[in-house]
Amino acid sequence: DWGTELWDQFEVLERHTQWGLDLLDRYVKFVKERTEVEQAYAKQLRSLVKKYLPKRPAKDDPESKFSQQQSFVQILQEVNDFAGQRELVAENLSVRVCLELTKYSQEMKQERKMHFQEGRRAQQQLENGFKQLENSKRKFERDCREAEKAAQTAERLDQDINATKADVEKAKQQAHLRSHMAEESKNEYAAQLQRFNRDQAHFYFSQMPQIFDKLQDMDERRATRLGAGYGLLSEAELEVVPIIAKCLEGMKVAANAVDPKNDSQVLIELHKSGFARPGDVEFEDFSQPMNRAPSDSSLGTPSEGRPELRGPGRIRTKRWPFGKKNKTVVTEDFSHLPPEQQRKRLQQQLEERSRELQKEVDQREALKKMKDVYEKTPQMGDPASLEPQIAETLSNIERLKLDVQKYEAWLAEAESRVLSNRGDSLSRHARPPDPPASAPPDSSSNGGSQDTKESSEEPPSEESQDTPIYTEFDEDFEEEPTSPIGHCVAIYHFEGSSEGTISMAEGEDLSLMEEDKGDGWTRVRRKEGGEGYVPTSYLRVTLN
């Protein structure tokens, strides 16, 4: 231990313990700057994600329907989650390393200061004892010389015949006094020496070794804590590795989710107009007016049989797919859109109005129930206070019913347009086109044989032409089974004993089929099958 092996290295231990505390502070500073780097990195990632995220909501952005766009948005979300994990690393390092080690460093500095103050006090006490020993030694040496000198003086006067008896007695008394003082100084020096040796042994064998051992224990505890701090640097990373792995896996899933075929179909569904393909352009014979009498060449008004080549009589039908599109005026029935797009938009509006209508009907039922409760128990509320809300709900229901009827009529008209366009297109292209009259004989014969071959195949009958049209129409508007609008977890057990309710166990996962309409009940579906109502307060609900 330090108290035994380094008993004489007080300054070395002082420098070493100070170096250890400086190293602890340097590591804290390093981790602090590391957290700043992580925070800046996370901030830049979040700014990058925000820059590239779509600005419009998904429902208003047609591009959000493509798998490529959906995958890109998912990757952006995963990068945003990854940035959140970097922020978590920075937070953990800041709290668990910077704050705690800074506090621990202050405690270590106070403890070190206390131990070295105790050591310096012990050194000062030993130095003071040594000074006292030196003083008593010098006093003893001086008194001995004075006593010897006084003894020599008394002996010389005793042998001097000229000296008086009084001088001789006086000199002898002085010599005796000096000898007595020297003896006292000797005893004092001996006692001081014994005391110093005892203090010195205590200093080197007990007091300082204990202080050095305390410093050793303090330094080892500091090193242990610093090592644990080193470990926290990796632990903070390891804690977020599973989430980061999920983020990377999510990016991989997003990459694999790109479906080119589906995107092509989405493009078709978004922009399919429903118009029939243009028919053959009719031949306009402008040579007819040239067969005229010579008198017709005179200047003046054209003859009655001659068509006007300019002006309103010469109107060329515009082929819409290749013409410049004029600015359209948006109408409520979406008649400015192509037939297929008009049908889809009208269908969407009809579904939205139907949902709003059902919501208002449910709200009216809930208000009626509440009014009945108030009438039966007046202390719960005034039934008259609900009348304005009921009246407003009824007004909304009437308005929405009119909207539904209006959109249903427009939708029926749009569907008839789509069907007629499909029928015209199929009847026009049911047979192959005739070969051109000016074709060479070889190519004509080849073309004719090819046409004959194609025509020899069984042509689609009138019934078979109509079948896919109405089948597609029926598929578009077939009523699909209700799909969940979210999921929920049962917080408590519920026993559905009354009609329309369903039982559920605590912790059971359920599909959310219909939200609470204000009456405190939510419709759910169990995984084993069966639907019914359960109390809303018994659920933890998550909407899609």
Domain boundaries, the chain: 2-260, 339-420, 486-543
For the ranges 14-18, 163-167, 410-414, the maximum mean pLDDT occurs at 14-18
The model's confidence at residue 520, banded by pLDDT at 50, 70 and 90, is confident
User: Highest mean pLDDT: which of 175-179, 336-340, 450-454, 517-521?
Assistant: 175-179
Which superfamily is assigned to 486-543 in CATH? SH3 Domains (2.30.30.40)
Q: Residues 43, 90: contact at Cβ < 8 Å?
A: no
Question: So what's the pLDDT on residue 32?
Answer: 95
What is the per-residue pLDDT for 469? 36
When pLDDT is averaged across residues 93-98 and rounded to a whole number, the result is 93
d(CA 414, CA 10) in angstroms, rounded, equals 100
Rounded CA separation 55/61 (Å): 9
- Reply yes or no on whether the pLDDT at 338 is more than 60: yes
CA atoms within a 13 Å half-sphere pointing along the CA-CB vector of 106:
5
CA distances (Å), 174 to each of 155, 161, 167, in order? 12, 20, 10
Nearest-CA neighbor of 196 among 117, 128, 120, 124? 128
More confident residue, 480 or 390: 390
Q: Structure tokens of 179? A: 């000898």
**pLDDT surpasses 60 at 436:** no
The more confidently predicted of residues 437 and 416 is: 416
User: pLDDT category, 423, cuts 50, 70, 90?
Assistant: low
Half-sphere exposure (Cβ direction) of 193: Cα atoms closer than 13 Å:
10
Per-residue pLDDT, averaged over 9-38, amounts to: 94
pLDDT at residue 78 tops 80: yes
Q: How many CA atoms lie within 13 A of 450 on its CB side?
A: 9
What DSSP element (H or E) covers 202? helix 165-202
pLDDT > 60? residue 303: no
Give residue 519's region: left, alpha or beta (phi > 0; psi -120 to 50). Answer: alpha
Mean pLDDT to the nearest integer, 86-114: 94
168-194 per-position pLDDT tens digit = 888 889 889 989 999 999 999 999 999
How does DSSP classify residue 309? S
Interhelix angle 10-52/208-256, nearest 10 degrees: 20
Mean pLDDT score of the chain: 81
pLDDT, residue 18, reads 95
CATH topology of domain 2-260: Substrate Binding Domain Of Dnak; Chain:A; Domain 2 (1.20.1270)
pLDDT of residue 214 exceeding 90, the answer is yes
Ranking 75-79, 93-97, 275-279, 521-525 by mean pLDDT, the lowest is 275-279
Alpha carbon 503 to its chain centroid, in Å, reads: 37
Least reliable range by pLDDT among 63-72, 206-215, 316-325, 496-505: 316-325
